Amino acid sequence: MTIDPTPTDDYTRTLPDPALLRSTFAGFPSGVAAIAARVDGADEVIVASSFTVGVSLDPPLVMFAVQNTSRSWQRLKAAPVLGISVLGADQDAACRQLASRDAATRFDGIDAHLASHGGLFVRHAPVWLETTIWSETPAGDHTVVILEITAMFRAEGVEPLVFHGSTFRRLEPLAG
């Protein structure tokens, strides 16, 4: 079977450029995760809207993509254990703060928990995953990081924070 590459009336073929890619990617809703650990006595974190669950059930794997220029990731990946907090619907301000460029104040006022194994978690997040790095794969201007889940916690009834259309949103129940 061959696919006709000719655009239909409702489709205009456009070559990707950075602005169009950003706009297009913003049309796909995603959860937001804080990936954190204490490294050499300092709390390190990156925030990823590229976080993906369900990569594998056996072994249990998740993944995210990080910019190759991230200095935070260079420090964070040295940790033996990474804590992932899937942020909750009411944690948009915490998300902005954790993602700020000022690494020295990212955790100021953030209610965080350092687990005995070294993972750092944001309290009141609906999901915590304790992970270790499974692999890193170069992917253009990013690196895809696959993490193995070694322990987890899920808070029932806490909705996740959703990033869509370049803004934070809350899930709404379907009318029915």
Is the Cβ–Cβ distance between 93 and 127 less than 8 Å? Answer: no
**pTM for the full predicted model:** 0.83
Model confidence pLDDT, tens digit, residues 54-77: 889 999 999 999 999 999 999 999
Distance CA 172, CA 97 (A): 25
Q: What are the angstrom distances between the C-alpha of 30 and each of 2, 160, 163?
A: 33, 10, 5
Residue 140's pLDDT is what? 93
pLDDT at 30 over 90: no
Percent of the chain with pLDDT over 90: 57
pLDDT digits (tens, 9 = 90+) for 88-99: 989 989 999 999
pLDDT in tens, 146-155: 999 999 999 9
* DSSP per-residue codes, 31-84: E-EEEEEEETTEEEEEEES--EEEEEETTEEEEEEEETT-HHHHHHTTSSSEEE
Among 42, 36, 39, 90, CA closest to 64: 36
pLDDT, the chain, mean:
86
Q: Tokens representing 23?
A: 């706009």
Report the pLDDT value the prediction gives residue 5, as an integer from 0 to 100. 58
Produce one character per residue of 89-100: b if its CB has 16 or more CB atoms within 10 Å, e if not: eebbebbebbbe
Phi, psi (5° rounding) for residue 55?
-60, -40
Q: Which residue has the higher pLDDT, 175 or 121?
A: 121
